[in-house]
Every structure is written in structure tokens, then in C-alpha cells.
Amino acid sequence: MKVTEMMSHKTSDGRFDAAEAGSRSFANRPVLVFWETTRACPLYCIHCRASAVSQPLLGELTTEEGFRLIDDVTSFGRPYPTIIFTGGDPLKRDDLFELMLYASRLGVGFAVSPAVSELLTKDALKRMRNFGASSVSISLDGATAESHDAIRRKDGTYDRTIDAVKEAVELGLNVQVNTVIMRKNFFDLPRIFHLIKSLGVKTWELFFLVKVGRGTEVEELVPEEYESACNLLYDASCYGLTVRCVEAPFIRRVAGQRLQSDTYWNDDAYLELKSELLRLEGGPTTPSTLRPRGTLDGDGVIFVAYDGTIYPGGLLPVGMGNVRSDSLVRIYGDDNLLRRIRAREIDGPCGVCEFKDICGGSRARAYSYSGDPLSSDPACIYVTART
């Protein structure tokens, strides 16, 4: 399909109404507070945004400082944002379960994003469940041991990952599988989906590569391939699993266009991906689970680094203060960059796009390319069509 034909489509379904999306329900509080509890991790993944290391770095927030951070989250008021204990590998912290218990006692919901290592035992998963974790996210970047372990750079990680997912599902945990999309696994996506669906996983979250940390050396997709990936993920969302995307807000535009016309995008890569999905799963069984609007860095999301530095998101390294001396609530509400992101004061094609309210482009990818978090997202085919 030619870009000019694609650009003629407008979102007409009421669920994707731009006025509704522009209500800015994330203005007063984020939905998610990501806390990078540590940068220590036993893996050496090729795309790691944190460039994680084997041992904890100096300057990590102490247990008491962690308690104060959780207290600060309650200052947003109810409903409290959910804390995501991430890393590195949060299980490398001796006080992780103490922090979970503290959050649980305050009524603050939390989820955990552990690395798959010898620390991720069935007992650890059981404790996460018993302490009240709303979900556990486990990364799977390939449908085979060869493809996954090449990305995670540690043999045996694939087998341990499958075992961990099975154990978490058996324990009744809400399991989310995370997958990073890059050139190395692009055509593996239908098989990854088929695998996690067969394991009983209910949520698949796709991270569209942003070239930060060790990810600067990883080959990413071109805009046409991102568009194919989004259309494949729209198809995958029609089999009953919740599908979410990180750093690909333009998937909400794609979802709206697909609701309007199922023949919206027909390039060769997408047709190959779709054919494989249909071979593995048969025809779609449910309406799409993709949501009509979602978060952006600084708009529904805030990130606290291992040393307390506050960022709009984990892939957008623009510091705005530190929880050791600043109020997370004040930074989220008053920081000028965050206010401009929420107001969609974005330069270039993203700033004039008719879908900016439901999309807004990846602020992290814009920054990684231009050094300006308010520039346009170069992964979106709308941007390349207008530049």
C-alpha cells in the first residue's frame, strides 16, 4: 500500500475518539512508578537499557530510602500508582521482600520484573504471590533456545524461562511475558506468541527497541517493518490475550485504522507474519484487546533509577531531580518537560499529526535520535511520510 493511500485513513470508531483521548486522565498521577531497584543482574542481554552489571553499584537507595519512596507514592492519593520493582534484577536486593511487604501494608499495588536466574526459584515466585504481587513479568525474546539465549547471552536461560513461566502460572500468579522487538527476532514473533499462549500466559508486552545502553549496538527495524509489527500485534490481540506495547504508541493509530479497514496494510513482511500466525492459531477468536489510549514516558509513567534519579521513563535518560531530595509528586505534576509531553507540545510531524492525542510518539526514541525528547518519533511511518 502506498503511503499516500495509508494517510487517507482516519479513525472513525468511537473507542478511538481523539477528544476522549485528550482528556489527560494521567495529569494528576501516574499509573505506574517504575523503580530500578538495582543495576545488578546475572545476565548480559544485548539490548539492556541499563547496561546492567554483575554487582550492585554504589549509591543504590537504601531500605529506608526505599520505604520513603513508597511513602511518596501514597502522596499521589488514591487510587495509588502501581510500583514496578525492576532492575537489573530486583532479586539481587536482599531487602526486596521487605520492600514488598511495606508496600502491601500501605495498600500500594506492586508488580515484579525479575531476571531469569538461579534466584528466580519456585519459592521466590510463591513469596511474590503471597506478598500480593499483582503480576510478575518474565522476558522471552525467542521461540527457541538458540534465538532467546543468543539475545540473553547466557546458555540455558530459555529453558529456565519456560520453567519459570510454567511455575508462575501453576501458582496462580498473573504472568506477563515481555518481548523486545528487534531485527534478530522480528520474524519470530508469531511463534513466540504461539508459545506463550500455549503456556497459559494472559498478557504479552512488546518493547520496541530504543537505542540506549547496550541497545545502541542492536539492529532495529525500519518504519515499514514497525508498521508490519504493529499490524501483526493487532492480529495477535484478537485471540484473547492482552497485548500491550512499550515505546510504540502508534499502535493505537494502527488499531483504529484496522477497525475501520482490515486491509489497511499489506506489505510482504506483514503478510508473511500474518500467514505464520494463522497457520499456528487459526482465525481470530475475540475482538482486539488493544486499548484505545495508553501511557507515554511522563504521561502516566515515571521512572526512579537505582540511585534515586527521576526520569520520565526508563528509556528516556533526562534527569528531573532525585527522590532523596525532591518530591516525586511535585516533579510529576510540575516538571516543564512532563507538562509539555502531556500537552503534546511536540515538534515536527508528531506535533501536527491528527493522532497525536492517542499516540504522541515515543519520546524516548525521539531523544535517542535527536537529543530532543520533544522531537518526532522516527519509527512511525507517518513521520517518514511527512519529512
Instruction: Please give the grid coordinates belonging to residue 178.
Output: 515481555
Instruction: Please give the grid coordinates belonging to residue 88.
Output: 537489573
**Identity of the residue numbered 170:** E
User: What's the mean pLDDT when you consider all of the chain?
Assistant: 91
Q: What is the CATH number of domain 29-296?
A: 3.20.20.70
According to the model, what pLDDT value does residue 263 have? Answer: 67
Q: Quick check: 17 pLDDT over 90?
A: no
According to the model, what pLDDT value does residue 264 have? Answer: 74
d(CA 304, CA 322): 8
Mean pLDDT, range 241-246, rounded to an integer: 97
The Cβ-side half-sphere exposure at 122, using a 13 Å CA radius, reads 8
According to the model, what pLDDT value does residue 297 have? Answer: 97
Q: Quick check: 2 pLDDT over 70?
A: no
Q: Where in the chain are the domains? A: 29-296
d(CA 212, CA 130): 35
Q: Which helix (H) or strand (E) holds 83?
A: strand 82-86
Note the pLDDT tens digit of each residue in 326-354: 999 999 999 999 999 999 999 999 999 99
- Taking CA atoms, 24 is separated from 3, 61, 195, 291, 312, in Å, by 30, 32, 36, 15, 16
Share above pLDDT 70 across residues of the chain, in percent, rounded to a whole number? 92
Least confident of 58-72, 173-187, 215-229: 215-229
Q: Is residue 93 classed exposed, middle or buried when 0-12, 13-18 and 19+ CB atoms within 10 A define those classes?
A: buried
Owner of C-alpha cell 520453567? 163
Note the pLDDT tens digit of each residue in 147-167: 999 988 889 999 999 999 999
Query: In degrees, to the nearest 5, what angle opens at C-alpha 185 toward C-alphas 175 and 263?
Result: 90
Note the pLDDT tens digit of each residue in 28-57: 999 999 999 999 998 888 887 767 677 888
Note the pLDDT tens digit of each residue in 94-123: 999 999 999 999 999 999 999 999 999 999
Judge contact between 110 and 82, C-beta under 8 A.
yes
Note the pLDDT tens digit of each residue in 273-328: 999 999 999 999 999 999 888 999 999 999 999 999 999 999 999 999 999 999 99
Note the pLDDT tens digit of each residue in 246-273: 999 999 999 999 988 776 788 999 999 9
According to the model, what pLDDT value does residue 340 have? Answer: 97
